[in-house]
Amino acid sequence: MMDKDIAFVIKSEEEIAARVAELADVLNKQYKDKDTVFIGVLKGSFIFMADLMRKIDLYCDIDFMAVSSYGSGSVTSGQIKITKDLTLDIKGRHVVVIEDILDSGLTLDYLKKYLMTKEPASLSVCALLDKKARRQVDVGVDLIGFNIPDAFAVGYGLDYAQKYRNLPYIGVLKPSVYSK
């Protein structure tokens, strides 16, 4: 049913699964024997993080934050707010932020600055997607799953107006859907 709204698939379910396993291998090596907290940025990262965490073979904690800058639109509003904060203390711990997509960089820049005030031992970011064409702020990301074109991507956790998150692949939404 939702497939009719997709112009084309950017990354298939199989491509995503293979890349998630590769990212987990890197994280398993990098954080071996470290006191690590993985922080998922809701809502978009929840599917990516669930799949990634099933491949992580480390003693670690998991927490979630919700940070909003989009509302129901297709372009960032630039107004960033934390709508769900951490429940864990990250002071002195190695923190890995799990993000769905790096777009303008505004939200991630804000989030990294905020998390650094909590004095982690280290802070890194693992983002599934990077849309470099939209970058407004140069923000460092340690691990990237895929670079994608400047198109409206949905699926595998990414949404438009809270819809399409449950697609098993990442596709480009037809402009006719979001320009109504």
The catalytic residue positions are 103
Q: Can you give the length of the chain in residues? A: 180
Q: Which residues pair with 36 in a beta bridge?
A: 60, 94
User: Do 39 and 65 form a contact (C-beta atoms < 8 A)?
Assistant: yes
Question: Three-class SS of residue 51?
Answer: helix
Would you state the structure tokens that stand for residue 112, as one six-digit string? 């990294």
Would you state the structure tokens that stand for residue 131, as one six-digit string? 């849309």
